[in-house]
Structure 1
Amino acid sequence: MIDVTIENFESEVIEASMHTPVLVDFWAPWCGPCRTLGPILEKLETDYKGRFKLAKIDSDQEQQIAGMFGVRSIPTCVLMFQGQPVDGFMGALPEGQVREFLDKHLPPAGPEEEAPAAEEAQAEAADDNDLQTRLDKLQQAVADKPEDEQARFDFIKLLLEMGLEDEAKVAFAPVIALAGTSQRLNALKIWMDALDAASLAGDANAKLKALDASIAQNKRDFEARYARAQLLLAYNHWTDAMDELLEILMRDRSWNEDRARKAYVAILDIIEPAKPPVAEGQIPPEDPTVATYRRRLSSVILS
């Protein structure tokens, strides 16, 4: 695995792919699904013993490269061979599906890469995949206790992270009436509304350019700013979406019945990772990105 920047992109991706397929992983430190997919890709690079090379690109730091590939959401993976993109996928796929993707394009394993022993193969199959296992457990938890808001939130969030929007809407339907009184459920509704808006918007890049032009003409075009934030949210550009919402809040804190602040808080709820267990009396550490953006919101609201 290698971290790629604009300075070494030519040598580590284009030139390297002339001889060995290169799987380019566009990610960001704040992206929850990226943290799920990353270890899977690193494990597979080891398992495949040189049949492909993993190149990781921080899409926030290397926006020029992300733009070249038309990356609209993260994680996004693109397989390069002989200097050209061959195929790709978006979202945090389970390990088994990533293997299927790689096996379609990579040269077959050599004789030295013998199949693992039966017990090892069974262990890998059991792990296959952790995402599906998590999904099944959460689905069962919701079935056992339909009133458990935390379980339902985690279940729907994972469905959305995996790109299963229709399934997420079905799971959300029984509690949609509670979104007005539950901050967490409202966060899911705001996320799904953004995905629906992005679907109706068509070409995301063209829509963003049109919104940017409207904002350039009128800095107080809050409808355009909110639509831009929605589009960024839909494509998992969480911090960019919050930056845009802050632009609204700095100019009008209560615009449209507090809509910008509610969307901002929704994103914080979505991106905040689960708290690790801690000793009694201790406060669990807060995610750095979440902490930073909470402070920014407070400074605007309280100023």
Structure 2
Amino acid sequence: MSIVDPRSGAPLTPPEPAPSPAAAPSDEQLIIDVDRNNIQQVLEFSTQVPVLLDCWAPWCEPCKTLMPILEKLTREYNGAFILAKLNIEDNQDIAAQLGVRSVPDVKLISQGGLVDHFQGALPEKEIREWLGRYFPAPEDAPASPEEQAAEALAQGDAETARTLYEELVQQHPEHYAYQVELARALVAQERSGEALALLDNLPPEERDAAPARGVRASVEFREEAPTGEELEALAGRDDSEAQFKRALRQVADGHYEAGLEALLKLMQADRAYGDDVARKTLLRVFDALGAEHPLTVTYRRRLFTLLY
């Protein structure tokens, strides 16, 4: 039994994964509208190729954010699955049978049965990770906006990172991680006041969590670090104060590994300096970098070894 696209009336056949863009399946093959006339055929069709069923409604703003992402990924995966779009407002009986209680609700159907689903307008990166559980990633897949923003920030292109994070915040206002990363990009642009104001407006649980604390710490490091003139005045000195101030400057400038190494050595040589300030500053740098950062993992382990 073939599926008929309600937009064109043409029968659809399972799309074959294409070896090259020139042979890519058309939108009519990959993306269809579903209603009561063809929902049963869609379920049967899933025995030949998996179906991503996007349950949406015209009044749902998150649905409008999510749908273009799903369409983009469907084209990118090039026939690994088809995207079927169900307007629950026009097909309330089907939505009830499928157990749809809120939208957007995206269901992966294969062999006529539900494999998995997610609800809400997830960011593109999370959708890619979800799809990655079931389908091999396409060759030469473009980086997600999140990955592009993170890469730009890592390469020192704070302007590009800020622009990308602003777009992500606009698309996903309740995904607070984007607001934290936007604040990080603002700090890199020497716009610390705006960054702190953004963090202050987060819900308390997000404002006090490690990522936001880390951005605040990076602002504090910039404020506490010695100026160029102060560093020149320390030339030739190798006492604990000079070592600590140089380490602060390295951290404030983003030379985290050098700063962490200097702080660890200072702690080992003069634990009492500044009421154990070297150890306390190490912990603040870990906060700034995040728990999963490779430098945090490495130097936290070395700190533990030194202490115990």
Q: TM range, normalised to the smaller chain?
A: 0.3 to 0.5
**TM-score, normalisation: structure 1:** 0.42
Q: TM-score, normalised by structure 2?
A: 0.42
Structure with higher Rg: it is: 2
Structure with more of its chain in helix, by fraction: 1
Q: Which has the higher contact order (CA 8 A, sep 6+)?
A: 1
